[in-house]
Amino acid sequence: MSFTRPEPPYYAVIITSTLDADNLDGYAEMDARMGELGRAQPGYLGRESKTDADGHELTVLYYRDAESIAAWKRHPEHREAQRRGREQWYAGYHIEVARVERAYGFERE
Amino acid sequence: MSFTRPEPPYYAVIITSTLDADNLDGYAEMDARMGELGRAQPGYLGRESKTDADGHELTVLYYRDAESIAAWKRHPEHREAQRRGREQWYAGYHIEVARVERAYGFERE
C-alpha cells in the first residue's frame, strides 16, 4: 500500500471512471491542480490509484471522516472541476462513499 | 463501472497487493479457481480490479453484507489459498472492509 493508514474507522471514496479520449483539453492541468488542492484538504489521508491504457481508472481516496469528504465535494474550485468533468472530460464515473470498519494485512519480512 | 450496484448500504473489500514475481508457481491456477469459487459465494455482487506491469494490484470486491465477506474468508479452500498467498505468492497485501453508505455518478448520453 502506498501510505500508512490510521486505525479504523476512517473513510474511503471509491471512484471508477472512464475518460473521453477525444475531449481532454485542459484535463491534465485541472487534474494536477485538483491533486495538489485535494491533498491539502483537512482530513485527507492518502490515495491508491490505477489507470489502464484505455482510460479506465480505479481510485480510492482516504479521509479521516465523512465531513472531510463533504467539505471537499463543495469546495468552489473542485465544484468547477466536477462540472467540467461531466461536460467534457469524462464519459462516465461512479463514486461510492464507504466507512472502513476493519483492516488487516501482511508484509513479507 | 463493470457491474450494476444495488442501492446502498452494501459492502466493499478494498485490496492492495503486490505479487512476488519470483514465486508465482501455481498462482495462476489458484487465482482462476478462487475467482470462480468467489463469484459463486452467496452475497457476492461483483468486482473492479486493475493491475500494473510490476505486479501492484488494486481490487475492490463487492458484497451484499458483512456476513457474506466473513463466510468467504473462512471457506476452507479459500483459507488454503490465503495461506499459500502469504507463504509464497505475495510480497504483501492490505485488506479493508468498508460499508458503502452512499453512491452516485453519471454516464454520458
Decide if A20 contacts A90 (C-beta within 8 A): yes
> Which of the four pLDDT bands, split at 50, 70 and 90, describes residue B86?
very high
B51 CB within 8 Å of a chain A CB: yes
Residues B6-55: tens digit of each pLDDT? 999 999 999 999 999 999 999 999 999 999 999 999 999 999 999 988 88
* Best residue of B82, B87, B96, B99 to probe chain A, by most A CBs closer than 10 Å: B96
Cβ of A105 and B98 within 8 Å? no
A98 CB within 8 Å of a chain B CB: yes
In a domain, B81, yes or no: yes
Beta strands B44-51; A56-63: pairing state: unpaired
Which of B14, B51, B92 minimises the CB distance to A12?
Answer: B14
In a domain, A3, yes or no: no
B33 contacts: CB under 8 Å, gap ≥ 6 = B77, B81
In a domain, B105, yes or no: no
Cβ of A1 and B94 within 8 Å? yes
Decide if A26 contacts A84 (C-beta within 8 A): yes
The torsion angle over the Cα atoms of residues B90, B91, B97 and B98, rounded to 10 degrees, is: -120
Cβ of A48 and B16 within 8 Å? yes
**Assigned C-alpha cell, A86:** 461531466
Q: How many domains does chain A have?
A: 1
Q: Which amino acid is it at B105? A: G
- Tell me how many residue pairs between chain A and chain B have CB atoms under 8 A apart: 111
Range of the domain at A52: 12-100
Complex ipTM value: 0.95
Cβ of B96 and A100 within 8 Å? yes
Query: For residues B61 and B63, what is the distance between their CA atoms, to the nearest angstrom?
Result: 7
Query: For residues B13 and B100, what is the distance between their CA atoms, to the nearest angstrom?
Result: 10
In a domain, A49, yes or no: yes
Handedness of CA A79, A62, B72, B29 (dihedral sign): positive
φ, ψ (nearest 5 deg) of residue B64: -65, -40
Cβ of B100 and A103 within 8 Å? no
Q: How many CB atoms lie within 10 A of CB A79?
A: 11
- Specify the CATH number for the domain of residue B17: 3.30.70.100
In a domain, A4, yes or no: no
pTM: 0.95
In a domain, B2, yes or no: no
In a domain, A6, yes or no: no
Which of A86, A103, A105 minimises the CB distance to B106?
Answer: A86
Over chain A (109 residues), the average pLDDT of each successive run of 10 is: 92 97 94 97 97 90 98 97 96 97 92
> Which of the four pLDDT bands, split at 50, 70 and 90, describes residue B87?
very high
- Residue B45 CA: distances (Å) to CA of A64, B1, B60, B78: 27, 13, 11, 18
> Which of the four pLDDT bands, split at 50, 70 and 90, describes residue B2?
confident
B23 CB within 8 Å of a chain A CB: no
B19 CB within 8 Å of a chain A CB: no
The minimum CA-CA distance between A49 and chain B, rounded to whole Å, is 7
